[in-house]
């Protein structure tokens, strides 16, 4: 794995850090962000903020949780908007009600039932942080650690983290490398690599919250969403899979053609899956002709601005969350509250609770193997 990214590191080792590190007093072109507000020490490690730019898009990344703090994309008339929810400082992230904003998620994204799984005959117990289940790697998951910045230039940043044996109850020393890259074609590519010295479950993703009209700029329910999935994962009242994927035919979960996100939400009081998720908070089994290939997963269009986001991934599934738990208690980097159903997460992933679900693809990484997967968020205008 190290050979895979060594060339990249060497090529940028002497590059000048991008604009947000040059002068902490400047207001950045990625919003009102200032580097000085992201410089602190957490558990003995330094945090910072880095700006990447290529083509027509700009993103700001902090190594605290490997978070996407900001992502600016143009609209139909050339005006840009910040389409990812984020905060103005590390302190704001530490004090946020919603802890996963923009973060890298691991070791295992989504839920593990009752925080337990059995591997090679041994039962492992994980901390419960989404009663009664374990969610997104636990309270000390990858969202809540400081990543090492291995390399950075104007268009890419390489982050690395060693998750030690026993961290959050998981077995094995897991070495993780994540690379964010902006292409000249207005693509944000996220590449994930990992190796381990003991068998362990791994399911990495990013938890950006999107609103293509701009951060805290109204409902997402008018966004047009298409998901390339004939089936979704039915869940119980604690959002644990019932054991199999079911057809989207005749259900509010049919997004195979563009549909306003809010079109079927009037059924929330009568649809059991809506009741369980308090709306959309479900995994979709992507239609893939060949496993592990990168292919189209979903498209979102915001009609008024014309902003379009397409998602391509090697992953077999996509979690769509419709902002059902946002309650206005968090105030973002533009001074506006994050309100109910004004943002969405579209997390590429393996299936929820996979270690306990015999019908789902395995997420076990073994010594000598390499976890290697990529996801692309491509921005355009229509």
Pair 136, 207: CB distance under 8 Å: yes
Pair 318, 340: CB distance under 8 Å: no
134 labelled catalytic? no
User: CA–CA separation, 279 vs 343, rounded Å?
Assistant: 13
Pair 65, 206: CB distance under 8 Å: no
* Beta bridge pairs of residue 157: 152, 180
Name the catalytic one among 134, 136, 143, 207.
Answer: 207
DSSP 287: -
DSSP 274: H
Kindly report the length of the chain. Answer: 382
User: CA–CA separation, 203 vs 107, rounded Å?
Assistant: 6
User: CA–CA separation, 163 vs 196, rounded Å?
Assistant: 9
Nearest 5°: the CA angle 298, 176, 291 is: 40
- Provide CB contacts within 8 A for 231, sequence distance 6+: 245, 246, 247, 248, 284, 285
User: CA–CA separation, 52 vs 57, rounded Å?
Assistant: 9
Name the catalytic one among 160, 191, 215, 347.
Answer: 347
207 labelled catalytic? yes
Residues annotated as catalytic (active site), given as ranges: 207, 347
């Amino acid at each position: 794995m190290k050979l895979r990214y060594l060339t990249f590191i060497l090529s940028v080792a002497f590059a000048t850090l991008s604009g947000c590190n040059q002068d902490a007093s400047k207001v950045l072109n990625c919003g009102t962000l200032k580097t000085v507000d992201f410089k602190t020490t957490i558990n003995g490690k330094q945090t910072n903020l880095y700006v990447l730019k290529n083509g027509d898009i700009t993103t700001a990344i902090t190594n605290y949780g490997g978070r996407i703090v900001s992502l600016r994309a143009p609209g139909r008339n050339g005006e840009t908007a910040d389409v990812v929810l984020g905060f103005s400082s590390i302190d704001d992230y530490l004090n946020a009600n919603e802890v996963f904003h923009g973060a890298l998620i691991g070791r295992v994204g989504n839920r593990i039932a009752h925080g337990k799984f059995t591997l090679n005959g041994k039962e492992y117990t994980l901390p419960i942080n989404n009663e009664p289940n374990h969610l997104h790697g636990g309270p000390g998951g990858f969202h809540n650690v400081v990543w090492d910045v291995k390399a950075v230039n104007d268009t890419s940043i390489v982050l690395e983290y060693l998750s030690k044996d026993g961290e959050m109850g998981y077995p094995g020393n897991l070495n993780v490398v994540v690379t964010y890259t902006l292409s000249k074609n207005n693509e944000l590519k996220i590449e994930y690599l990992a190796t381990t010295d003991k068998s362990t479950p791994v399911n990495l993703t990013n938890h950006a919250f999107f609103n293509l009209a701009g951060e805290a700029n109204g409902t997402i329910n008018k966004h047009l969403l298409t998901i390339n999935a004939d089936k979704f994962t039915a869940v119980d009242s604690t959002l644990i899979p019932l054991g199999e994927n079911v057809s989207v035919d005749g259900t509010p979960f049919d997004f195979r053609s563009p549909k306003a996100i809010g079109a079927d939400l009037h059924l929330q009081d009568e649809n059991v899956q809506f009741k369980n998720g308090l709306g959309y908070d479900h995994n979709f089994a992507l239609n893939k002709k060949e496993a592990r290939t990168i292919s189209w997963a979903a498209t979102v269009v915001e009609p008024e601005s014309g902003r379009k986001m397409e998602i391509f991934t090697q992953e077999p599934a996509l979690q769509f969350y419709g902002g059902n738990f946002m309650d206005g208690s968090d105030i973002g980097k533009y001074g506006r509250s994050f309100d109910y159903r004004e943002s969405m997460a579209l997390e590429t992933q393996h299936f929820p609770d996979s270690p306990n679900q015999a019908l789902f693809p395995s997420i076990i990484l073994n010594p000598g193997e390499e976890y290697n997967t990529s996801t692309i968020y491509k921005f355009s205008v229509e």
